[in-house]
A = this chain, B = another copy of it.
């Protein structure tokens, strides 16, 4: 994330000691925590965590958990986790919230590559002593369960081949399912979405748009918006855009945000957040004090 103002050279040991100092006494020195963690890149954060563990024989994450709370805690906590671990936590939180948060599960599972998703499944198992599919399926039923379990369990082929005939026939299946108000083709749509390669799926979505003059994801927005259709919509959008996600850069996101909303992302964040949480997020967005 190219917006962070991170020094190129840091001393993990000095940072670990400064954090230790910030934890001293009654109530943590949140300003010091933001000054350090808000200005370190992913690699530096891992180094600090390691140094902290070696110096004080204590897990920095666990210490942070006991020192800070609320939105600020969650932001810092996710920020310091490695990507696979962070996604495992996000999925677990979404499952606990249930209902309207299931699209988060659909998004993470659809955006990641096969190997990245696998790393998240490993991290989840280590952290919660259960599998993702176990928790997802114990909390859902019917088509929503089928879709989510299929997405989180997938290990898609990732070659560049496209089968145009298959794209045509499966675009037709999707069309038939969306056409009826109470589609009885949902199981076939779930099958296609959870098992085909992303390259093949993009070809199928393109075929659909060429034939019907509207994208699958737009068409879905007209449907009843229950949890299942919301997750379905998220999965289709994420698969269609999965390449964009690979070039995650907060700088691009800031530009795109301004283009779409004519408001600077920093200003929107300032309006919506407060306190240490606000300071931390603004530090990540590269705002100098």
* A210 interface residue (CB < 8 Å to B): no
9 nearest CB pairs, A to B: A153-B153, A134-B195, A137-B191, A121-B155, A133-B195, A131-B157, A125-B157, A130-B157, A137-B195
* Residues of B with C-beta under 8 A to A157: 125, 129-131, 134
Residues of B within 8 A of A159 (CB): 129
User: Considering the chains assembled together, what is the distance between the CA atoms of A122 and B118 in angstroms?
Assistant: 12
- Chain A residues within 8 Å of chain B by Cβ, number: 32
In the complex, chain B residues whose CB is within 8 Å of the CB of A156: 131, 134
19 more A-B residue pairs beyond the given contacts A129-B161, A133-B153, A150-B153, with a C-beta to C-beta distance below 8 A: A118-B155, A125-B155, A125-B157, A125-B158, A129-B157, A130-B197, A131-B154, A131-B155, A131-B197, A133-B155, A137-B191, A137-B195, A142-B187, A145-B187, A146-B146, A149-B153, A149-B195, A153-B154, A153-B155
Oligomeric state, in number of copies?
2
A141 lies within 8 A of chain B by Cβ? yes
**Which residues from B are CB-within-8-Å of A133?**
150, 153-155, 194-195
Q: A residues 4-58 with Cβ under 8 Å of B? A: none
- List which A182-199 residues lie within 8 A (CB) of chain B: 187, 191, 194-197
Bound form: Cα–Cα A212–B262 in Å: 67
